Amino acid sequence: MPKFQTLAGLGLAACLAGPALAQSPPAVQIQAQSVLQDWRCGTPPFDPYRFATAAMAPSDCGYSSTTIKGDYDPGETLVIPVVVHVLQTSGGTGYVSPALVQSQIDILNEDFQALPGTPGQPGTNGKIQFELATVDPSGNATTGITYSNNTTWYNDGGSYWNTLAWDTNRYLNIYTNSAGGYLGYVPDLPQGGIVGTTSDRVVIYWASFGRNSAYGPPYDQGRTTTHEVGHYLGLYHTFEGGCGSGYTSGDRIADTASESSPTFGCPGTKSSCGSADPVHNYMDYSDDTCMWEFTPEQINRMRCTIYNYRPNLYTVGGTGPSGPGTAFCAGDGSGTGCPCNNQGAAGHGCQNSTGAGAQLTASGTASIGAGDLVLHGSDLVSGQSGLYFQGDNQISGGNGAVFGDGLRCTGLNTVRLQIRMASASGTSNTTVNVAAAGGVSAGQTKRYQLWYRDPAFSPCLSGFNLSNGYEVTWLP
Ligand SMILES: [Zn+2]
């Protein structure tokens, strides 16, 4: 692919013209870093002149600093729906098969979850999961892949995102095309305010998309997409700011060693800032087969970014096909059943002061032996307590009975599990201790629900509400 070698100048121009710098002083301010980035990745570097304009609400993972907190350590699995838009020339150049698209989704999961037995195993399990969307923005079933034949769009022109983007608050939009001469890029980090605009996206050179892709070595194992999704979730390059270190310079992460410049190839040893360079980090420029880790602090910053900058993007794991149980007594948004005619969003309990209504899901397995079933409440009321409980039956056939502002759907032989406070992001979780819950036997089905405080919900003012129900059939 020699054409890339000649595109450094074009890449620089594209970078300088990018929307990320619209509010910055003229382009001279970012010189050297952009030249370094070359054709490998077109994501804009940190720009000190954006301190004033790009600073959104203060957070633990802002544009210019990171604050590591335990709240952002991997707990609940965050599931992100993905739509892949394949942009081909009118002659069909740029075709990416559905199987190749799925292989790329698989690679994201291998890398963001350090799945055992895969090339991503040596990394850190961030409990971030990617799934091709199964429902489109209109509520219709979808493969999560769109195809367009448009040579202008293939050449990364024509503002295709204004036509094609699916609600960027709710979907990760990935486009494959020429990527403007880069292997990939994002227009900006989410901390810059791009979230929710149609231009919020990840763009990948089609020939480097998926496993054993057409580019061939060394950029054919899908790690370009892993790298760009890292940017999409708020990460800088490991070489950002050269030898800068700590949480307010360099890549704003302390457990990635600093390096003065990108790494290419796969050097056995390389030390540019007095310590071993992070050549195996996904946010470097090493060969695909040479990169295999996000560090724990990079995971922390990404999860912080999801909670604070992309709060509508994820669902908590367990609702997908791999979940250990099924939801019931869950709203469909049609407005029936709940008191005050206020049924919550699809899959949630009755509406509450967060708007959506609480959602109860689960992750882990239904194995009694493993003991790893975790119930997750989301869209709860921040700082309010809630009680997880278990019962044997679905009340009224799973439709529930009015109780406070919500519906009680779980009954018979009720057992209290644990009381949990909802976090600032309105989530809580509890691991089900089956012994403490009175014991269960293999083949037995139990129902779970979350009863929580919501003193400010004005239509009813009962002071409490309930999530949807969640049903698990236990296994040995
Ligand atoms: Zn990059």
pLDDT tens digits, one per residue of 38-52: 689 999 888 877 654
Residues 374 and 462 in one domain: yes
Q: What is the CATH number of the domain that holds 208?
A: 3.40.390.10
What pLDDT sits at residue 335?
A: 55
415-421 and 385-391 as β-strands: parallel, antiparallel, unpaired? antiparallel
Which of 309, 332, 350 marks a domain boundary?
A: 309
Are 351 and 282 within one domain? no
66: β partners: 61
What is the C-alpha separation between 164 and 53, in angstroms, rounded?
A: 28
Domain contains 51: no
Distances 382 to 219, 422, 423 between C-alpha atoms, Å? 44, 5, 6
For residue 53, is it within any domain? no
- Which of 309, 334, 361 is a domain's end point? 309
The Å distance, Cα 98 to ligand 1 centre, comes to 25
Number of structural domains (the chain) is: 2
Tell me how far apart the alpha carbons of residues 87 and 93 are, in angstroms, rounded to a whole number. Answer: 9
Residue 364 scores a pLDDT above 90: no
- Whether residue 323 is predicted with pLDDT greater than 70 in this model: the reply is no
| Per-residue pLDDT, 322 | 43
Confirm if 391 and 446 have CB atoms less than 8 A apart: yes
Residue 19 pLDDT greater than 70, yes or no: no
- In the predicted structure, residue 399 carries a pLDDT above the cut 90: no
Domain that holds residue 460: 321-473
Does 25 sit behind a cis peptide bond, omega within 30 degrees of 0 on the bond before it? no
Structure tokens at 89: 């020339």
Pair type for strands 128-132 and 78-88: parallel
54 pLDDT higher than 80:
no
With a cut of 50, say whether residue 456 has pLDDT above it.
yes
What is the model's pLDDT at position 17? 28
Please report, rounded to a whole number, the percentage of residues in the chain having pLDDT higher than 90: 58
Q: Same structural domain for residues 378 and 427? A: yes
> Is 293 in the active site?
no
Is residue 444 one of the residues assigned to a domain? Answer: yes
Specify whether 346 is located in the same domain as 446: yes
User: In the block, which residue shows the tokens 């003193």?
Assistant: 455
Name the more confident of 126 and 396: 126
Residue with tokens 């014991």: 439
- Looking at 252, 284, 309, the residue that finishes a domain is 309
Q: Does pLDDT of 168 surpass 70?
A: yes
**What six digits make up the tokens of 108?**
């994201």
Candidates 110, 131, 228, 259; catalytic one: 228
Q: How far is the CA of 235 from the centre of ligand 1 (A)?
A: 9
Q: Is the pLDDT confidence value at 69 over 60? A: yes
Mutual angle of helices 223-232 and 98-112, in 10-degree steps: 60
Distance 228 CA to ligand 1 centre (A): 6
**336 and 294 within one domain:** no
| Mean pLDDT over each residue of the chain, to the nearest integer | 85
Question: Model confidence over 298-316: pLDDT tens digits?
Answer: 999 999 999 989 989 998 8
pLDDT at 37: 44
Going from the Cα of 43 to the center of ligand 1, the distance in angstroms, rounded, reads: 5
How remote is the CA of residue 184 from the centroid of ligand 1, in Å? Answer: 8
Q: Other CB atoms closer than 10 Å to residue 5's CB: what's the count?
A: 9
Are 399 and 435 within one domain?
Answer: yes
Centre of ligand 1 to C-alpha 193, Å, is 18
- Integer Cα distance of 219 and 288 in angstroms: 5
Q: How confident is the model at residue 5 (pLDDT cuts 50, 70, 90)?
A: very low
Q: Tell me the per-residue pLDDT of 91-120, one tens digit each, with 9 for 90 and over.
A: 999 999 999 999 999 999 999 999 989 999
pLDDT of residue 190 exceeding 80: yes
- Residue 165 in any domain: the answer is yes
- What pLDDT, on the 0 to 100 scale, is given for residue 286? 97
